[in-house]
Amino acid sequence: MATIPIELVIYMKLSLRSEYALLTLVQLARHPQPIPETALVSVLKISIEALTEILAVLGGKGYVAQLDGRVQLAKDAGEISVAEIIRLFDGVLAPLEPVSSKGYAPAPMDNEVKLAGLFEDIQEQISTRLENTTLSELV
């Protein structure tokens, strides 16, 4: 499979929840000691309510531990992939494959095998990269 130039991938849609979850985890990975939730709110510039919601999801899945208003990673940063956090908050990784405007019919480019294949290759590269990137690599 040929490597697709990154210039072809302009944007990947992430929800704000995924983005803030990743930012939260990166901050926690930088600090081995528990961090006050108020410090995270200040650094991330989000509301305490938003952080509380994100931490509840992350804590429920065993990524973070909370005690007395402080939070820390509950898993090693090298064991947490970017892809698994995106999936936790957004479901499947953002597909780049075309869909028809009706949603149930074949996409218009389905008949163009090479064009459709280009988007499949890009999606595979994105998925592989996100699967193979851990929090420890982002610190």
CATH 3.30.200.20 fits 9-138, yes or no: no
Q: Provide mean pLDDT across the span 31-49.
A: 96
Backbone φ/ψ region at 87: left (φ over 0), alpha (ψ -120 to 50), beta: alpha
Q: What is the residue extent of each domain of the chain?
A: 9-138
**Per residue in 98-128, pLDDT tens?**
554 445 566 677 778 888 788 778 888 888 9
Q: Provide mean pLDDT across the span 62-70.
A: 96
Q: Show the tokens assigned to 23.
A: 């930012």
Question: Is residue 56 over pLDDT 60?
Answer: yes
> Is pLDDT larger for residue 11 or for residue 121?
121
Residue 95 pLDDT: 57
Whether the Cβ atoms of residue 76 and residue 139 lie closer than 8 Å to each other: no
Q: d(Cα 108, Cα 111) in Å, to the nearest integer? A: 7
* pTM (predicted TM-score): 0.80
